[in-house]
Structure 1
Amino acid sequence: MDSRNCLPELLLPVGTREMLEAAVNNGADAVYFGVPHWNARGRTEDFSFEDVRDMIRYARIRGVRTFLAMNVLVFERELQELPEFLEKLISLEPDAFIIQDIGLARLIRAICPNQEIHASTQMTLASAESVNAVKSIGFNRAVLARELSLKEIASIKAATDLELEVFIHGALCVSYSGQCLTSENFGGRSANRGQCAQSCRLPYRIFVDGKEYRETDAQYLFSPHDLCALPKLKELEEIGVDSLKVEGRLKSPEYVAAVSRAYRKALNGTSLEAKDMEPLEVLFSRGLTTGFLEGDNHQELVDGTFSNHHGLFLGTVVKVDRGQIIVGLDSAISDIAPSASSGSSRMFPRPGDGILFENASLGISVGSRLYAAQVTHLPHAKRGDPKLLKLEFGREFDTRQIAVGMQVYRNDSPALERELRKTFTDREQLVRLPVTMTLSGKIGEALKLSVYDTPKNAVEVEADFILEAARNSENRSKNEADKAIRELAQKELSALSSTAYQLKHLDIQVDRDAFIPGKILRTLRQAAIEKLDEKRTEWKPLNPSAETGKKFLDETRAKFKSGVSTNGAPTASGISSAGGTTHPIISVLVRNPDQIAALEGLAIDRVIMDFDWGVKYDDSLQQIRELGFKAGMATLRIHKPGESHYLKNILRLAPDFALVRNLGALSILKESGIPLTGDYSLNAANSASYDWLLSQDLSTLHPSWDLNSTQLFDLLENIDGTRLELTLHQYMPAFHSEYCAFARALTTGRRFPECGKICTKHWVEILDHKGERHFLQSDAECRNTLFVGKPQSALKLLPRLRSAGVNHFRLEMLTEDAETVRRKVLIYTQAIQGKITIEDAIREAGIQEKYGLSEGQLFNESTWQDRKK
């Protein structure tokens, strides 16, 4: 038995065919790559169906599983057109699909009930309750959120039997995956559609209480270090994590080779050396940390002084001469630096390497190719003084740009890349499966060749050739005859360099007087290997059917048209699509108890409380009811192990309804008897998603903010509009983060309570590269949300929404004072009631806003075209 079967699966990213070969030949157990035309990494190669079929076959022959990533939201019109596409895709026989969209997952299940599907990290799965919720949909595995600690992962593992996958290496996002609208809001490109522009990696300026804050070096405030879980690998194994995932479909094949090799070595129990870590930093690194695996450490997670690839830190400039620079070596490099004569260490910079010089405080970065490097000493150096490194450059490099004190990094190495490239291009270094061959035959019978790598993978082929006696057989001894046959057979049958195999053992059971032409042996070998390939690529019958997918979609639409929800209950709030009450239901979300009194006497129906850390709900709940409104409480946007106290508070207070923002909270609250409504963070983008979410006791559901107006009305054609709620006014959440930018920029605290609750003491705004300001807020679990400073208004859509049957509207406040809250709500309620025109309402609403009013993504009809097309 292969010992690797007892270990967690090592899962590598594939953006090109070369990356696949790099992963397979350096120890990957599984790989994942993008679906043709649905690749969620817009800048990677878009494979054809033929490419995918060939790549799956290549991997499966070598015992490596293949997962197709289709981890994006799917809009209604797209969903209706997918059945034939998915039938064809499933017929390519991938091991599994990685899915974000609930509707897409259900459609795949309808087309092929036995197709394995994995719940993407884009589903924001951070608790056992959320994991078990996706299990009920039919997912076989959950890819956990990257913000979980080892303790939290262990807690989830103990409470579910679903397979768990955890990220172990690569880029960390500042936002919870699936909850980020930064790229969309700042650049018009949706991360939930695989088009992230990495707006979080840009520089930002910080304003505290209205004044620019300069007492921090955190210019790149939202750009985390990269993740490296090698120090925590053993603990992840002990927890029982099923799959260990590496991020990086946009990286190079050499990067994939280096990461695969290091983690394979560690998983196999071999101690890692400095040379194993070297390429992980040199090829691509923003600095390696263990991320959230050890819990929150806001100071360590984000350096703040850079956002780009930096590479391996060498040391600090101590002296500059013409054409050469003296660097005081970092202790980690100093320990293994070679002598001037040996030059033996792989960690040591090599000629041609890229060297980066940086002064972060001044924003200076200068790079050049290295000509030569050697260890040196300054005059009068004492024993025990740090080693120094002399770097020499070509004449074209102006060393006057370099100053003492600048940090020095090695961020590129052509020589190192060449070595890594050989691991998947040099036939002598490729990983091959050992096979045993048996050549058998008697004179007068057909020659046979059997081949197997394991007993279950045994094949046999028979030559179209009857063995005859050799003409000179009487002149040869038995030993000579045996030797001749063996040498010929060994030569011809071991010629496997173009295959996935190598000959481990050859058994010859042939009459010694037989004559065997070499051509026959070559033909037998080729036929046997082809048959073994077929044996190793045999796949379970799945029988995908586009027709069953179409039937599922038709039935889903029919449920909505009937006016009855998925669980058989009438439509929301007594409002029927077939008639009855059609007056609009208006909800106002407040984030401060002081905003509640301003709503007195206004034409609204419900108030949703979404308060900060430590704010009590009891009095506010009673106040809202006394004003004649229904009182609701919003759940947090994330639910993690040990964080159910907030939900218990909802259960204790029994509000008139709850606004549910994550699958974990939905799982806990759905049988509470408290009426529930679903928020946009559940990422419902199509009728099949709506159908399932509403079946979980939600009365209404807010669509994902990834939809523009065209996609929204496509959705409304196939669902009951009375079950949809839309926010007409809000400050859009750019991202929602476990990382606390308040703590990083304004304190030295690693986590709460070391931060001193700084978020409660100051008003913080972030200035982006376009000169626009945005509001930074914290929630009851210290998580940060960056709200876009210019609020979005959907007032222009109001007449069409009413015609489509939409009756539930929401207005969200942020930090407005009571008087401003009242003015805003009055404008919108008058527009909804038809007392003022839409045009007048938009104009009046814009006057109330400090930074103006936006139409946001709802009116963005552009389609971003990626670079490769």
Structure 2
Amino acid sequence: MKKNIEVLSPAGSYDSFLAAINAGADAIYLGGSAFGARAFSNNFSEEELLRALDVAHIHDKKVYLTVNTLLKNNEMSEQLYSYLKPYYENGLDAVIVQDMGVLNFVKEYFPQLHIHASTQMSTTGALGAKLLKELGASRIVTARELNIGEIKDIDNNVDIEIEGFVHGALCYCYSGQCLMSSLIGGRSGNRGRCAQPCRLPYDVIKNDSVIGNDNEKYVLSPKDMCSLSILPQVIDAGVDSLKIEGRMKSSEYTAGVVSMYRKYVDKYLENGSNKYKVSDADMNTLKDLYNRGGFTNGYYVDETGKSMISLTRPNHQGTKALEVISNNKGCINCRVLEDLDGGDVFEIGNDFAYTNKYKVSKNDKIILNVPHKYDLKNGDIIYRTKNNALMDEIKTKYIDTQKKELLEGKLELFIGDPASLSICLLDSNGKVRASATTREDIIEPAMKQPMDIERVKKQLSKTGGTRYTFENLTVHMDDNIFIPIQKLNDLRRNAIEAMEKQLCDSYKRSCESDHSLLIKTNFAKADGYNISKADNNIKINVSLENKGLLDTVLSYKDIEGIYLELSEYQDILELANAVLECKKLEKKVYFIMPHIFRLKAKKYFDDNIKEILELKADGFVIKNLEEIQYFRNYIENIEKTDNNIVINLILDYNVYTFNSLARDEYKKLEMQDKLRILYDTAPIELNEKELKHLNIFDSELVVYGYIPMMISTQCVNKTVGYCDAKKTVIYLKDRKNKKFAIKNNCTYCYNTIYNTSPIYIIDKTSEVLSLAPKKVRIILTYEDKNTAREVIEDAIKAYVMHENVENSLKDFTRGHFLRGVD
């Protein structure tokens, strides 16, 4: 049984931070004024964050700062160092990062700071964990989608801390792989500004007909996660830190959830798994705090489909409070299912709320007057979305209070000697964390009434507004002495201040020198945009996710390379025939790897990699860290028997190279001449100006294609009850009648949701030529042959013949090429 299990709390405000401390959190993750994945929470000012660091360390807690967004070159060169420096110097315990460039930066300039790889890095197995450890991460935050077995596999194979989500909201998409909010409304989840379009209603269209139930439209909105009932299994699997989601939630939510996980972690540590049982009352309390259509254990138990989705509403459902007995034209007579308090709120539908005014006992009756449009029937349940008594209880217990640390003290008051107070702060194991001794004026004999020992103890024990209280206070004194009350207060105050300073100073570090100028200089060199470097000889590649278009693509001699989607082919023989057709026409061939590389995908490649490599393709299009490490491991193992092995990799756009440091970090993963990264793909979310400053001379630029907005382990087909384990395309239709195609990949078990319109920037010929990418890419997914020909011929006209192109597509988007993201 593990002994050091961390309860990790969110804090979206300073009040929530204090609530987490009081409720028993071991560590708190929070965001500052920049670079956090929750840009719209009440993030911490510099003054608040510095104060929070001291308060956390006083209470022997840790603080992790979220720097878990993708950063642009100018942000790296001008802001990141000065942003992190004061927190680093004041003892920040760790940063949570998504961007590989930020990871590189922190290693270089803040070497004593722990780095936690965010769930935004989509770490789905031991391969990614191993790679991140090698690159300097001390902890990984696993993808929420992993099951117990996959967590165990990481724990068994990689010596790295594992942090896993145990409670709160779930994303429909693999974190870090979502572009839905970005492409629909310009608010990027990778920049902390997700607008949560997944919480909106959608029709599901199959064969031109709407499928699913009329009242179940929130098909992309997962229920909230609560793994309290399976906590022993999660811990035994290897999770070291139990992460609670909720930086956008209230202080009451933070305190209530943290206190519950603190309670049950302690129970587990004391009694083990055999006596572990969560009470119905405690589960109901958690539901009162927040739930979407009930709870799910998440993916730890391999749960997907309808039972995991909150199909009827996307927000807090509350708990069962009233049962309808009768409805007389909107006068609703109800039986009370739980004790009610004044201030409790009931919700009917998604747009009517009723506030209760009085206390009502369970099984009593209550009458509500509601609009006639709500056709409530006998037996219908009305939910309470605010439990006022619970909120008041939490507020009293955890918010309107202050956690106290226990001190041991010794006071000496002897005539002719200075008054002396020694105090020490002990940790849970009895080890001294900090101590101090202060002295005041010489003690004199009492002229009138001497001080008695009880009065001295009582006065000295008034620790008041401090974060301390005396557990043991020993007083040694002469009988006939006098000391002013003010001097006792001064002794206590000075001793506590000295001890606190010693404690906080023990966490502090110093930067060897100010690197700001060096950083700016280095990035200025890396920027290096120079129109004279522009190479008009741009090659055209086609990424082919629809094998039915292969013959069409092959008919164009100006296409240099073809990317083949491996899962499109039934077996190696069919794939080999496709490669042969490409090679006959002297095309370069690259295999597209899966978006997600979990154990199922790994097994497929373990079984088939030898045959795949024997096809002599020119390389692989890589979509995640797992795949990079898979080929690195393969090289290490096969090199003993085959010295001629060479594997070439192309980094796809979702292996993010938002800044030049990220690109440099990936290049370090090459293995001499055995494993080579040929080029990266320019980020979809950067605009033309930003791409210029990134310098994409050695990159590929996507100029056409339906871009995947979400990669999900969920299956919409399964959610609406039509899963047949066959590849198919269905559609989501939003409130504006826009349709989004969904392809289910049953080979590797994930869904891909595509943007409603393809990106098209081929007609921006001069702009693209001035960027001078090494290559441009056309992505073909479910286009017909005429559209495929039209797009390819536009690209040839633009990049081979250098002629102006007039776009004839009726439906397209410029993506972020013009606007970018904030």
The two structures share one fold, judged by TM-score above 0.5: yes
1:504/1:801 CA distance change after superposition, 3 Å: same
Give the aligned partner of residue 687 of structure 2: 708
1:401/1:372 CA distance change after superposition, 3 Å: farther
Q: TM-score, normalised by structure 1?
A: 0.85
C-alpha deviation, 1:783, in angstroms: 0.5
Q: Deviations over 1:312-361 (max 9, x none)?
A: 134653422578645578xxxxxxx6xxxxxxxxx533232111234xxx
C-alpha deviation, 1:247, in angstroms: 0.7
Give the aligned partner of residue 418 of structure 1: 392
- Give the alignment partner of residue 620 of structure 1, picking from 552, 565, 578: 578
- Give the alignment partner of residue 630 of structure 1, picking from 573, 585, 588: 588
* Stretches of structure 2 lacking an aligned partner (at least 5 in a row): 269-276, 636-644, 670-675
- Give the alignment partner of residue 310 of structure 2, picking from 297, 303, 312: 303
C-alpha deviation, 1:31, in angstroms: 0.6
Within 5 Å, which residues of 2 pair with 1:265-414?
265-269=263-267, 272-286=278-292, 287-314=294-321, 317-321=324-328, 325-326=332-333, 348-358=339-349, 366-371=352-357, 390-393=365-368, 402-404=376-378, 406-414=380-388
1:557/1:128 CA distance change after superposition, 3 Å: farther
Please give the alpha-carbon distance, in whole angstroms, between the structure 2 residues aligned to 1:548 and 1:71: 22
C-alpha RMSD of the superposition:
2.8
Please give the alpha-carbon distance, in whole angstroms, between the structure 1 residues aligned to 2:188 and 2:201: 20
Within 5 Å, which residues of 2 pair with 1:189-204?
189-204=187-202
1:510/1:240 CA distance change after superposition, 3 Å: farther
Are positions 1:13 and 2:4 aligned together? no
* Stretches of structure 1 lacking an aligned partner (at least 5 in a row): 330-336, 338-346, 359-363, 377-387, 474-480, 564-576, 748-754, 864-869
Are positions 1:469 and 2:445 aligned together? yes
Are positions 1:236 and 2:234 aligned together? yes
Aligned residues: 782
Q: Is the CA contact 2:424–2:434 (under 8 Å) kept in the aligned structure 1?
A: yes
SS at 2:466's partner residue? coil
Give the aligned partner of residue 855 of structure 1: 814
Give the aligned partner of residue 555 of structure 2: 601
SS at 2:692's partner residue? helix
Give the aligned partner of residue 51 of structure 2: 54
Give the aligned partner of residue 726 of structure 1: 701
Within 5 Å, which residues of 2 pair with 1:562-711?
583-602=537-556, 603-612=558-567, 615-616=570-571, 617-648=575-606, 649-654=608-613, 655-670=617-632, 671=635, 673-696=646-669, 697-711=676-690
1:651/1:667 CA distance change after superposition, 3 Å: farther
Give the aligned partner of residue 22 of structure 1: 19
Please give the alpha-carbon distance, in whole angstroms, between the structure 1 residues aligned to 2:51 and 2:434: 23
C-alpha deviation, 1:836, in angstroms: 4.1
- Give the alignment partner of residue 770 of structure 1, picking from 733, 736, 741: 736
Give the aligned partner of residue 755 of structure 2: 788
Q: Is the CA contact 1:155–1:641 (under 8 Å) kept in the aligned structure 2?
A: no
C-alpha deviation, 1:33, in angstroms: 1.1
Give the aligned partner of residue 110 of structure 2: 112
Please give the alpha-carbon distance, in whole angstroms, between the structure 2 residues aligned to 1:237 and 1:554: 46
1:622/1:396 CA distance change after superposition, 3 Å: closer
Q: For 1:469, give the aligned amino acid.
A: P
C-alpha deviation, 1:18, in angstroms: 0.9
Give the aligned partner of residue 70 of structure 1: 67
1:622/1:434 CA distance change after superposition, 3 Å: same
1:626/1:819 CA distance change after superposition, 3 Å: farther
Please give the alpha-carbon distance, in whole angstroms, between the structure 2 residues aligned to 1:634 and 1:586: 16
Q: Is the CA contact 1:372–1:391 (under 8 Å) kept in the aligned structure 2?
A: no
Please give the alpha-carbon distance, in whole angstroms, between the structure 2 residues aligned to 1:22 and 1:625: 64
C-alpha deviation, 1:24, in angstroms: 0.3
Q: Return 512-521 or 105-114, whichever deviates more.
A: 512-521
Q: For 1:167, give the aligned amino acid.
A: F
Please give the alpha-carbon distance, in whole angstroms, between the structure 2 residues aligned to 1:123 and 1:550: 30
C-alpha deviation, 1:712, in angstroms: 1.4
Within 5 Å, which residues of 2 pair with 1:454-533?
454=426, 455-471=431-447, 485-533=452-500
1:419/1:501 CA distance change after superposition, 3 Å: same
Please give the alpha-carbon distance, in whole angstroms, between the structure 2 residues aligned to 1:732 and 1:676: 21
Q: For 1:414, give the aligned amino acid.
A: N
Q: Return 277-286 or 202-211, whichever deviates more.
A: 277-286
1:723/1:21 CA distance change after superposition, 3 Å: same
Are positions 1:543 and 2:510 aligned together? yes
Q: For 2:147, give the aligned amino acid.
A: S
Q: For 1:367, give the aligned amino acid.
A: A
Give the aligned partner of residue 134 of structure 1: 132
Are positions 1:821 and 2:788 aligned together? yes
C-alpha deviation, 1:374, in angstroms: 5.6
Q: Return 852-861 or 208-217, whichever deviates more.
A: 208-217
Please give the alpha-carbon distance, in whole angstroms, between the structure 2 residues aligned to 1:182 and 1:221: 15
Q: For 2:686, give the aligned amino acid.
A: L
C-alpha deviation, 1:559, in angstroms: 7.3
Please give the alpha-carbon distance, in whole angstroms, between the structure 1 residues aligned to 2:212 and 2:148: 36
Q: Is the CA contact 1:110–1:552 (under 8 Å) kept in the aligned structure 2?
A: no
C-alpha deviation, 1:533, in angstroms: 1.5
1:623/1:746 CA distance change after superposition, 3 Å: farther
Q: For 1:402, give the aligned amino acid.
A: L
Q: For 1:678, give the aligned amino acid.
A: L
Q: For 1:827, give the aligned amino acid.
A: D
Q: Return 435-444 or 820-829, whichever deviates more.
A: 820-829
Q: Return 829-838 or 12-21, whichever deviates more.
A: 829-838
SS at 1:453's partner residue? strand
Please give the alpha-carbon distance, in whole angstroms, between the structure 1 residues aligned to 2:26 and 2:719: 38
C-alpha deviation, 1:487, in angstroms: 1.3
Q: For 1:369, give the aligned amino acid.
A: T
1:810/1:84 CA distance change after superposition, 3 Å: same
Please give the alpha-carbon distance, in whole angstroms, between the structure 2 residues aligned to 1:148 and 1:216: 32
C-alpha deviation, 1:237, in angstroms: 1.9
Q: TM-score, normalised by structure 2?
A: 0.89
Please give the alpha-carbon distance, in whole angstroms, between the structure 2 residues aligned to 1:396 and 1:596: 61
Q: Deviations over 1:822-867 (max 9, x none)?
A: 33222222222136413x2x22xx15xxxx111112211574xxxx
Q: Is the CA contact 2:763–2:804 (under 8 Å) kept in the aligned structure 1?
A: no
SS at 2:391's partner residue? helix
C-alpha deviation, 1:788, in angstroms: 0.8
Q: Is the CA contact 1:172–1:226 (under 8 Å) kept in the aligned structure 2?
A: yes
- Give the alignment partner of residue 439 of structure 1, picking from 396, 411, 430: 411
C-alpha deviation, 1:302, in angstroms: 0.7
Q: For 2:647, give the aligned amino acid.
A: I
1:810/1:389 CA distance change after superposition, 3 Å: farther
Please give the alpha-carbon distance, in whole angstroms, between the structure 2 residues aligned to 1:260 and 1:375: 28
1:159/1:167 CA distance change after superposition, 3 Å: same
Please give the alpha-carbon distance, in whole angstroms, between the structure 2 residues aligned to 1:397 and 1:210: 36
SS at 2:777's partner residue? strand
SS at 2:476's partner residue? strand
Give the aligned partner of residue 639 of structure 2: none
Please give the alpha-carbon distance, in whole angstroms, between the structure 2 residues aligned to 1:862 and 1:73: 11
Give the aligned partner of residue 384 of structure 1: none
SS at 2:149's partner residue? helix
Please give the alpha-carbon distance, in whole angstroms, between the structure 2 residues aligned to 1:92 and 1:535: 13
- Give the alignment partner of residue 744 of structure 1, picking from 719, 728, 735: 719
Q: For 1:737, give the aligned amino acid.
A: S
Q: Is the CA contact 1:656–1:675 (under 8 Å) kept in the aligned structure 2?
A: yes
Give the aligned partner of residue 449 of structure 1: 421
SS at 1:281's partner residue? helix
Q: Is the CA contact 2:290–2:317 (under 8 Å) kept in the aligned structure 1?
A: yes
Please give the alpha-carbon distance, in whole angstroms, between the structure 2 residues aligned to 1:400 and 1:793: 47
C-alpha deviation, 1:305, in angstroms: 1.6
Q: Deviations over 1:655-676 (max 9, x none)?
A: 2110000001011124462211
